[in-house]
């Protein structure tokens, strides 16, 4: 049997949340090029309920999410204890997501509270690692503004909030990507939300998925620290048979539509924060990768620089991706629960032919 490796091209179920048909990303029918102009809360509502909210619904939804961006005291206590180096932030997020699922009222936890808590946990991990005090939510601001405020300790200006909102929307969902598929498998067993999200965080951690953004910045730093020609870095990676992180995609063979929208944001952020050196290195590497390998940058390539410009250290980059993707994970967990079908595929067995155990042979 000629099996597609890694389920490439295999349609395993239906979804009405998002689509990458014809290499175009749409959320519930809206092209991302258009829906990225909406607010993050509108997009979360769309992913969860299949339609955009009206003005009143949006206001209520935003208020409810912001109010819920508060952590149980026991979670904060644990975070203060475990969130420090040398543990990787994604390992801390994995453990904390699991811990959130052990509080008394977990059975009553619904997606809005879960999303709100995940955002606050991620901001808290970042602050604790920087030895900075935790920031309380400001109910006068929206979800994105609060997330940035809780991460950096500074209320963002309008331009920054708008750009970061687009960044969060572009990463909010992506049909059956590895971490979402993982969450759906767990959801199909009727496990609770936190079990689904913990599994999703584990899948996102790896460098072939969400972990790529950290490696992208590692590359940019290496070029800078050693005053290297960026093309020499890439040639060396090729020589060693290594992949260049932030390039290539299972679905998008002619360019990731999210990367096209993120590139001008990365440039603007780099200009705002005096990081144009990194943007120029990225441009040089991207041109070379296309010429030499026909590979385009993916979503993680430009978010790496954007997160750096926000003032974040590279080891927390993937947790920010998790913050954005939690909205999509929850949408898929809800959809999978409605489906009421266990995901349990089959395998092609290629081991030894049937043989027989002889109890006395090892006497
Ligand atoms: N750098 C160098 N070569 C790459 C590459 C990269 N980033 N991505 C793919 N290739 C090459 C592979 O080596 C392979 O070459 P070959 O056919 O000569 O062996 C070919 O392109 C196909 O790659 P493959 O890994 O089989 O494609 P895929 O569809 O399974 O993989 C990714 C998609 C994302 C896993 C892959 O592109 C990758 O590992 N990229 C780097 C990690 C990354 O940025 N991940 C974030 C994804 S959003």
Q: What is the pLDDT of residues 92-128, one digit of tens each?
A: 999 999 999 987 677 778 999 999 999 999 999 999 9
pLDDT at 104: 66
Long-range CB contacts (within 8 A, 24+) of 19-22: 19/175, 20/174, 20/175, 20/251, 20/252
How far from 60 is each of 57, 96, 140, 195, CA to CA, in Å? 5, 28, 13, 28
Over range 252-276, report the average pLDDT. Answer: 98
Q: What is the mean pLDDT of the chain?
A: 96
Lowest mean pLDDT among 80-89, 101-110, 119-128, 270-279: 101-110
Q: How far is the CA of 24 from the centre of ligand 1 (A)?
A: 19
Tokens of 253: 């063979």
pLDDT at 2: 82
Top mutation candidate among 220, 248, 259 for ligand 1, by most atoms within 8 Å of CB: 248
C-beta of residue 118 within 8 angstroms of C-beta of residue 326: yes
Q: How far is the CA of 6 from the centre of ligand 1 (A)?
A: 12
Nearest-CA residue for atom 36 of ligand 1? 248
Q: How far is the CA of 218 from the centre of ligand 1 (A)?
A: 18
- Report residue 220's pLDDT band, with 50, 70 and 90 as the boundaries: very high
Higher pLDDT, 14 or 359: 14
Q: What pLDDT digit, counting tens, does each position of 35-63 carry?
A: 999 999 999 999 999 999 999 999 999 99
Phi and psi, residue 4, nearest 5°: -70, 130
Name every protein residue with a CB atom under 6 angstroms from any ligand 1 atom: 6, 208-209, 212, 243-250, 293, 295, 298-300
Nearest-CA residue for atom 1 of ligand 1? 243
Residues forming the active site? 249, 300
């Amino acid at each position: 049997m000629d099996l597609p490796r890694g389920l490439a091209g295999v349609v395993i179920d239906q979804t009405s949340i998002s689509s990458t048909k014809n290499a175009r990303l749409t959320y519930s029918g809206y092209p991302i090029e258009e829906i990225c102009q909406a607010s993050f809360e509108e997009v979360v509502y769309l992913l969860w309920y299949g339609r955009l909210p009206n003005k009143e619904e949006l206001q209520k939804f935003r208020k409810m999410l912001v109010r819920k961006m508060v952590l149980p005291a026991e979670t904060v206590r644990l975070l203060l204890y475990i969130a420090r180096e040398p543990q990787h932030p994604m390992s801390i997020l994995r453990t904390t997501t699991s811990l959130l699922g052990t509080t008394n009222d977990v059975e009553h936890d619904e997606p809005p509270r879960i999303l709100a808590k995940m955002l606050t946990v991620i901001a808290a991990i970042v602050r604790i690692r920087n030895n900075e005090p935790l920031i309380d939510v400001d109910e006068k601001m929206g979800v994105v503004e609060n997330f940035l405020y809780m991460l950096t300790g500074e209320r963002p200006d309008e331009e920054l909030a708008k750009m970061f909102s687009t960044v969060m929307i572009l990463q909010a969902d992506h049909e059956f990507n590895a971490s979402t598929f993982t969450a759906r498998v767990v959801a199909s067993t009727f496990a609770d939300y936190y079990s689904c999200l913990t599994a999703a965080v584990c899948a996102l951690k790896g460098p072939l998925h969400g972990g790529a953004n950290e490696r992208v910045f590692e590359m940019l730093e290496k070029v800078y620290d050693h005053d290297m020609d960026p093309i020499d870095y890439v040639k060396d990676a090729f020589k060693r048979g290594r992949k260049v992180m932030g390039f290539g995609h299972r679905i998008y063979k002619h360019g990731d539509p999210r990367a096209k929208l993120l590139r001008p944001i990365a440039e603007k952020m780099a200009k705002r924060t005096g990081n144009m050196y990194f943007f120029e290195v990225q441009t040089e590497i991207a041109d070379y990768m296309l010429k030499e390998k026909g590979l385009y940058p993916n979503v993680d390539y430009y978010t790496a620089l954007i997160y750096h410009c926000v003032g974040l250290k590279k080891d927390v980059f993937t947790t920010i991706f998790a913050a954005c993707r939690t909205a999509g994970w929850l949408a898929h967990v809800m959809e999978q629960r409605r489906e009421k079908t266990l995901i349990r595929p089959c395998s092609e067995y290629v081991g030894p032919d049937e043989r027989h155990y002889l109890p006395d042979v090892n006497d």
